[in-house]
Amino acid sequence: MGSSTFSLIRTGTIPFDSGVDPTALPKHLAASLQQARATTVDIQGNCVAFTAGVFRFVSNWNVLVPFGSGDLTVEPDFRQVRYRVSIRQLVLIGTALVGLMTVFMLMSPGWQPLVFVPFMWLWLVGANIKLGIVRFRRFVVRAIATAPNLRPQSAALG
């Protein structure tokens, strides 16, 4: 991961082989994001920006649920796709839910249940971020694997 631990943006790169057509890849990635039911998808040159997040009528298993927005940038010179995804929505909602549970714990007798608050937050937020990134990377790898290939030189001439 190319971002700092406390950033609300996660970044990374995914390589693609020389057979993939980098000029067709942005459109293909956009179609893959639309199939995953992104709220919006916008192609600008080599960059595909999208919005998604929790507040959509999709299953919680949808690959875009953990991310409020993001972008995929095709870098043809380096033969890679660079991604950036925002986890702000997930962190805010997870923190609010753990905060609400904490309020109820404070109303109960004893302080012992409060020991579990950090673990609840790490599970609810941290685990969802980790799993979300792993699943998103797999999603992009699969999208690249099904992308249009470059035409062989002989086919282009004939």
Give the pLDDT confidence of 97-156 residue by residue, as tens digits: 999 988 888 887 877 778 888 899 999 899 999 999 999 999 999 999 999 898 665 444
Q: Tell me the domains of the chain and their CATH numbers.
A: 9-87+132-147 (3.30.310)
pLDDT confidence of residue 154? 43
Tell which phi-psi region holds residue 135, choosing left (phi > 0), alpha (psi between -120 and 50) or beta: alpha
Asked if 8 and 133 touch (Cβ cutoff 8 Å), the reply is: no
Identify the DSSP state of 20.
Answer: B
